[in-house]
Amino acid sequence: MKYCLLFILPFWFSCTSKPADEQQTRQEIAVNATEFTVEPAPEWTHLFLRKSGWFGGDGIYAIPFSGKDAEPGDSLLFVFSDTMIGEIAGGQLKPGSVMVNNSVAVLKGNTPDSTLIAFKTARTKEGYKAVFAPKTGQPDPNTYFWLGDGFVNPDANQDLFLFAYKMTNTHDQSGFPFKETGNTLIRVPRNSRFPYTDHQQIDLPFNHYTPGEETISFGAGIVNRAPSAGEAEPDGFVYVYGIQGANKKLVAARVKPDRIASFDQWRFWDGTTWSDDPKSVVALSDSVSNEMSVSRLSKGNYALVYQLSGIFPEICMQVGPSPVGPFGPRIILYRTTSDIKDKDLFTYNAKAHPALSAAGELLISYNVNSFKFFDVLKREPNLYRPRFIRVKFKPPSGSRK
């Protein structure tokens, strides 16, 4: 059963790097956030077109190892959720392919060079396994992780902090055969070696998953505005975004980066100020996707990017003056129907990747899947991989490019 594609459905139905001088230009460039062009980014899409080993996955997030977007000489960690491993020959998927719940890849530099990317899947004597699996509470073989956003934290020993969603199979034949049962913060020590067996897990305390209450899945997106992250307008906080309830409302929390794992230090945006009560959160937007992004474009311009309601073909943007908005009207950047012609396929969970984006641009990924996953995989074995588009913003009239 292909479970990861269903993550969004219950809510719907109920080493080459940019030079240092470009880094400065990129952070200060003026853009007109309402004027832009959009085009496919085939060089990034083709980076994930593979025939051996890792050949598909969703949930892609790009995390720079330096903790700074566009750091010269930097490398990046990609994290994926449900992942396909196997062999494709003659356009056909060979028998023996397997699915694991998460995997990673490391790219040297931040350009789409297939010779510089290594896909990493964990193994046991019996075969492949997920890189990260729940080990807090009472570990259950029917519970697993899908991965959210993460960041390398210069204010906490350069360790990697990664959010994960606990998903538990319910075997419910009358509805969806799984449910979300918790959020976890994973901490991977600096210089930890794959498969990161020395990592720590801390469960978030903000949701108790009480029937009838709207839960919040924190970790859908992260913005680190600490000075150590190289932000042009730092305020010293890490912003963590969550998705609340069936209407996919976007909410936000923030915390000092060195206290990210001290949940009593988290504060939640209530529309006016930062409250210590997680139930005080107000929606920054609605009908967003379970995976999304907020990215600084220029001074006073923050772009919220998401897939409409998670699964519709519209990739949307809203612009606001701060990481919590207020965000303006929905702007449709792109319709994935331009690329996806097969009626059995759908697209979901669009997000921007500032660490992969050039000056005055946003590189945006979206995932491709099918309601008839394994049937379609037989005829289109490479369907299940991220696709990319590039948004180019126009400078304001009279500004320096």
CA distances from 200 to 133, 156, 247, 321 (A): 11, 14, 32, 36
Given a cut of 70, whether residue 224 has pLDDT beyond it is yes
- Residue 377's contacts (CB-CB under 8 Å, 6 or more residues apart) are 84, 93, 370, 383, 384
What pLDDT, on the 0 to 100 scale, is given for residue 14?
Answer: 30
What pLDDT, on the 0 to 100 scale, is given for residue 23?
Answer: 39
Q: Look at phi and psi of residue 231 and say left if phi exceeds 0, alpha if psi is from -120 to 50, else beta.
A: beta
Confidence class for position 7, pLDDT limits 50, 70, 90: very low
Lowest mean pLDDT across 106-110, 122-126, 205-209: 205-209
What's the token pair of residue 56? Answer: 């598909």
What pLDDT, on the 0 to 100 scale, is given for residue 139?
Answer: 67
Confidence class for position 119, pLDDT limits 50, 70, 90: very high
What pLDDT, on the 0 to 100 scale, is given for residue 15?
Answer: 31
| Mean pLDDT (the chain, rounded) | 88
Convert the pLDDT of each residue in 73-116 to its tens digit: 789 999 999 999 999 999 999 999 999 999 999 999 989 999 99
* Average pLDDT of span 53-74: 91
* Average pLDDT of span 240-269: 97
Amino acid identity for residue 325 in this structure: G
Given a cut of 80, whether residue 379 has pLDDT beyond it is yes
What pLDDT, on the 0 to 100 scale, is given for residue 212?
Answer: 65
CA distances from 143 to 3, 169, 300, 307 (A): 12, 6, 42, 27
* Average pLDDT of span 243-261: 96
Confidence class for position 2, pLDDT limits 50, 70, 90: very low
Cα gap 374→372, rounded to integer Å: 6
What structural domains does the chain harbor? Answer: 4-394 (2.115.10.20)
* Average pLDDT of span 354-365: 94
Given a cut of 70, whether residue 203 has pLDDT beyond it is yes
Confidence class for position 3, pLDDT limits 50, 70, 90: very low
What pLDDT, on the 0 to 100 scale, is given for residue 219?
Answer: 97
327: enclosing H helix or E strand: none
Lowest mean pLDDT across 40-44, 95-99, 133-137, 183-187: 133-137
Cα gap 392→363, rounded to integer Å: 9
Given a cut of 80, whether residue 368 has pLDDT beyond it is yes
Given a cut of 50, whether residue 389 has pLDDT beyond it is yes
User: For the chain, how far is it from start to end, CA to CA, in angstroms?
Assistant: 50
* Average pLDDT of span 130-153: 90
What pLDDT, on the 0 to 100 scale, is given for residue 16?
Answer: 32
Convert the pLDDT of each residue in 277-325 to its tens digit: 999 999 999 999 999 999 999 989 999 999 999 999 999 999 999 999 9
* Average pLDDT of span 312-341: 94
Given a cut of 70, whether residue 175 has pLDDT beyond it is no
